[in-house]
Amino acid sequence: MPIKIPMPKPIAEIDGDEMTRVIWGWVKDELLRPFIELNTEYYDLGLENREATKDGVTHEAAEAAKRLGIAVKCATITPNAARVEEYHLTQMWKSPNATIRGALDGTIFRTPIITKLITPAIPAWTKPITVARHAYGDIYTAIEGISPDGRLDVEYHNTIASIKSFAEACFRYAESEKLPLKFSAKDTILKKYDGKFREVFADTHKDFPNVDYAYTLIDDAVARVIRSHGGFIWAMKNYDGDVMSDMVSTVFGSLAMMTSVLVSPDGKFEFEAAHGTVTRHYYRYREGETPSTNPVATIFAWSGALKKRGELDGVERLTEFAWRLENAVIDTIESGVVTSDLAGLANREVKRVNTQEFIAAVRGRL
Ligand code: NAP
Ligand code: MG
């Protein structure tokens, strides 16, 4: 047996629910543990354990992400009325993502994983576009009113502190990824509200002089983005980011090929897949079927966290391994071996495999 790659410092490992929890185990057993001395602090955020700990485990996980600086998270169930019944919950526990985001005061960056097998709906987009959405304020906390005389009024809300955190996380991430950063809003109309965003971004740029940054009016930005080749971070206010992130992910093809990283203003990173726990596949798995769920975003959450750990600690072999893992995944897909969701999007004939067969093919290339 070759000697495994060392991992001197741990990351926070946050386990989750349903199909993604099953895939989590397969990825660790087949693609990580055989190659590296996996070093993690483990937090079980499976819904049973959140119930057993009265959600204490979620707060412990958030604290560990802050303390260790790097976390990797599996998708988790956000309880609703049906889940309260299904899992016999004593409370409708809060969304773990909301708890962790609150603790880290973080911004979410979503990036598509691109392969030659899937042509984006806008073929010029050959490089990823990462969308950064300010997940606070705007219309989501607006006060609305309709007057008897037929007037409709809306009052927006935000805070300068939250805008600052957002801007800092954007520059921090742009610096870490060595990517240009664009921020767009409509400060010609909302001179004070959007003007304040523009001003805060310009001020924050002074602390990150190496980042290639530009402000663009949102409508002009849309035109430029459509005609671009990708390869930048596009930061937007809450509503603009909500709409545009759905547009961008649809153009690139599949939610199963989208990674997500939460970055705090002081440079802590939490990596995850953008999709949920894939409940329908899990119910079939429980019936004994072998589903063809796409594990790519989960694998990239791990590789993202390992890359960052290697970079911060100067463990080159760890970073190198993470790159090799990502390349093995891309090569497997480009060789035409894919899960069912991608078979429908492929621009040529492919071989459909189930999740375990796909993971085995990736391991073969490693
Ligand atoms: P979802 O788990 O993302 O799944 C929605 C559908 O998208 C699936 O049924 C499947 O379509 C397709 N899909 C998603 N990921 C896929 C993958 N990796 N491979 C293949 N197909 C994939 O969203 P949901 O059904 O709305 O939510 C399920 C649970 O996840 C909920 O309890 C929700 O609270 C939770 N959730 C968690 C997070 C998070 O922790 N970050 C995010 C979103 C949702 P087909 O069934 O048609 O194949
Ligand atoms: Mg949306």
Q: Which tokens sit at 166?
A: 């957002």
pLDDT at residue 90, as a whole number: 97
Distance 131 CA to ligand 2 centre (A): 12
- What is the mean predicted confidence (pLDDT) over 192-217? 98
Distance 320 CA to ligand 1 centre (A): 30
Report yes or no: 128 and 110 within 8 Å, Cβ to Cβ.
no
Ligand 1 atom at minimal distance to the Cα of residue 278 = 2
Ligand 1 atom at minimal distance to the Cα of residue 74 = 40
Report yes or no: 265 and 164 within 8 Å, Cβ to Cβ.
yes
Report yes or no: 256 and 75 within 8 Å, Cβ to Cβ.
no
Residue 259 lies in a domain: no
CA 61 – CA 76 distance, rounded (Å): 13
Contacts of residue 237, defined as CB under 8 A and 6 or more positions apart, other chains included, come to: 134, 137, 138, 185, 194, 197
| Nearest alpha-carbon partner for 26 in 313, 326, 295, 317 | 295
Residue 257 lies in a domain: no
* Residues paired with 73 in a beta bridge: 14, 272
- What is the mean predicted confidence (pLDDT) over 316-337? 98
pLDDT at residue 135, as a whole number: 82
Range of the domain at 174: 119-252
CA 281 – CA 258 distance, rounded (Å): 18
Same domain, 270 and 321: yes
Same domain, 288 and 245: no
Same domain, 358 and 312: yes
Same domain, 101 and 138: no
Same domain, 132 and 246: yes
Same domain, 245 and 124: yes
Is 0.75 topped by the overall pTM? Answer: yes
Distance 22 CA to ligand 1 centre (A): 14
Q: Whose CA is nearest to atom 30 of ligand 1?
A: 276
Q: Whose CA is nearest to atom 27 of ligand 1?
A: 276
Distance 206 CA to ligand 2 centre (A): 31
Task: Tell me what percent of the residues of the chain surpass a pLDDT of 70.
Answer: 100
Same domain, 244 and 302: no
CATH value at residue 68: 3.40.718.10
Task: Give the residue, out of 50, 277, 355, with the most ligand 1 atoms within 8 A of its beta carbon, to mutate for a pocket test.
Answer: 277
Digit-coded pLDDT (tens) for 140-187: 888 899 999 999 999 989 999 999 999 999 999 999 999 999 999 999
Ligand 1 pocket (Cβ < 6 Å) reads 75-78, 97, 255-256, 272, 275-280, 293-294, 341
**How big is the CA angle at 175 (ends 174 and 177), to the nearest 5 degrees?**
65
Q: Whose CA is nearest to atom 38 of ligand 1?
A: 276
Radius of gyration of the chain (CA): 21
Report DSSP state, residue 335: T
CA 99 – CA 63 distance, rounded (Å): 10
Q: Whose CA is nearest to atom 33 of ligand 1?
A: 77
The letter for the amino acid at 168 is: E
Same domain, 101 and 125: no
Phi-psi region of 68 (alpha: psi -120 to 50; beta: other; left: phi over 0): alpha
Residue 114 lies in a domain: no
| Nearest alpha-carbon partner for 111 in 221, 238, 274 | 274
Ligand 1 atom at minimal distance to the Cα of residue 75 = 40
Digit-coded pLDDT (tens) for 267-299: 999 999 999 999 999 999 999 999 999 999 999
Ligand nearest to the CA of 86: 1
CA 287 – CA 294 distance, rounded (Å): 19
Number of domains in the chain: 2
Same domain, 61 and 176: no
Residue 68 lies in a domain: yes
* Per-residue exposure over 332-349, b if at least 16 CB sit within 10 Å of its own CB, e if not: bbeeebbbebbbebbeee
Q: How many CB atoms lie within 10 A of CB 125?
A: 21
User: Chain-wide mean pLDDT for the chain?
Assistant: 95
pLDDT at residue 1, as a whole number: 59
pLDDT at residue 102, as a whole number: 86
| Nearest alpha-carbon partner for 235 in 144, 142, 173, 278 | 173
